[in-house]
Amino acid sequence: MKYRQPISFLLILISFSFFLYRESSNEPINTIAVIDSANCWTGASPHQIPVDSSGSLIRYGYLLISNTAAFLGPNGTVSHSTNGMNCQNCHLEAGTKPWGNNYGAVASTYPKVRARSGKLESIEMRVNDCLQRSLNGKPIDSLSKEMLSIVAYIKWLGSEIPKGEKPKGTGIIDLPYLTRAADTIQGRKDYIISCASCHGIDGKGKTALNGIGFLYPPLWGNQSYNDAAGIFRLSRFAGFIKNNMPNPSNYHHTKLSNESAWDIAAYVNSQPRPHKDQSQDWPDISKKPVDCPIGPYTDKRSEKQHKYGPYTLTIK
Ligand code: HEC
Ligand code: HEC
């Protein structure tokens, strides 16, 4: 009886000092993302999504990104507003794969002014960009449950990255430019060897066996991304496939030379695809990237040279 009080006092003191230690330590208490052996950001996996009320929105966002067609595709349960592709077809492993066009730096860098629109863009606006271009579809309401969930998932993935930072491994790699124009004839040969077995000699891919989305997504034709999509720029396409295709490959084990990546990009992006009016894009044309395939430009290079290169050769 006599010792009870001092003992409980001691216990309180110990727990308080532990609390102070946790508060002062710089170790993140709940780390979700991983930095791999080459220092590249790798996103958290879906089974780390919290099992509380905040988690249900994030989890629905994950489902929308990994299985977009089931909700928004031609036979979607929510709407019929996209071409049947999934976000994950291009933002690999639900936007978590290093150099797999992941979402690592979205929460830390948005809102930001983008030269393509000339506007301050929120994450919602950027998502609607991909819906209208990469999925050749319609935008969704920024207050809809679907948009709130997609944004919640993207923010959760990037929640540990300090504002303004873009860690190594996020997005798509910038490959060095070739000193020649990318060659569609060589690209077709390489495509037949490395890509046609899945994406088809006709580029149409293969529909999934359950009819929802694709087993192998299309690379051109009616169901593919339109000519206003980011991946229609050769540098984005070449950088994406260099580290990720033929499937499965990753930046530790690439299967394409840089030259082949550019040539295949040229061949695929020379094939027919849906057109989107983009006359309002790049209001300040001096900010247009050099590989933007549709004019006008501030220099005298032709659309063809902007599309296929060489980018290093300047014609005034
Ligand atoms: C056909 C391929 C493709 C599909 C499908 C696609 N995207 Fe994208 N997305 C891209 C490319 C390419 C970029 C630009 C990457 C760059 O500029 O380096 C991009 C960029 C983004 C960004 C900005 C990334 C950043 O770091 O600035 C967000 C957010 C995004 N997409 C969301 C989505 C969502 C959500 C979906 C599905 C509704 C989707 N995308 C479907 C190809 C695609
Ligand atoms: C073994 C099958 C396979 C091969 C071979 C392959 N891919 Fe893919 N590719 C896929 C799959 C599957 C996806 C979708 C990935 C996902 O949803 O996780 C994909 C996605 C893509 C995408 C983004 C989605 C789209 O359709 O726009 C591009 C671009 C692409 N592949 C290009 C290529 C190129 C170029 C080659 C040849 C260098 C190639 N792929 C070889 C299976 C393959």
- For residue range 147-199, what is the model confidence (pLDDT) as tens digits? 999 999 999 999 999 999 999 999 999 999 999 999 999 999 999 999 999 99
- Domain boundaries, given as residue ranges, for the chain: 34-157, 184-308
CA 25 to ligand 1 center in whole angstroms: 36
d(CA 233, CA 239): 10
**Which pLDDT score, from 0 to 100, does residue 54 have?**
85
Please report which ligand is nearest the Cα atom of 129: 1
**Which pLDDT score, from 0 to 100, does residue 31 have?**
76
Note the Cα 184 to chain centre separation in Å.
25
Query: What is the chain's mean pLDDT, rounded?
Result: 92
Q: Name the residue with tokens 């032709």.
A: 302
In this chain, the answer to whether the domains covering 34-157 and 184-308 adopt an identical fold is yes
Atom 6 in ligand 2: which residue has the minimum CA distance?
A: 246
Is the CATH number 1.10.760.10 carried by domain 184-308? Answer: yes
Polymer length of the chain = 316
Going through the chain in order, the beta strands assigned E by DSSP cover 34-35, 41-42, 112-114, 119-121, 206-207, 214-216
Atom 10 in ligand 1: which residue has the minimum CA distance?
A: 230
Atom 16 in ligand 2: which residue has the minimum CA distance?
A: 89
Report the alpha-carbon angle 160-133-279, nearest 5. Answer: 115
d(CA 233, CA 308): 9
Residue 273, ligand 1, Cβ within 6 A: no
* Pick from 165, 174, 173: nearest CA to 250: 173
CA 85 to ligand 1 center in whole angstroms: 12
Residue 241, ligand 1, Cβ within 6 A: no
Q: Is the pTM of this model over 0.85?
A: yes
Region 133-159 average pLDDT: 98
* Topology classification of domain 34-157: Cytochrome Bc1 Complex; Chain D, domain 2 (1.10.760)
pLDDT for 201-254, tens place per residue? 999 999 999 999 999 999 999 999 999 999 999 999 999 999 999 999 999 999
d(CA 208, CA 261): 26
Residue 264, ligand 2, Cβ within 6 A: yes
CA 247 to ligand 2 center in whole angstroms: 6
Residue 231, ligand 1, Cβ within 6 A: yes
Residue 157, ligand 2, Cβ within 6 A: no
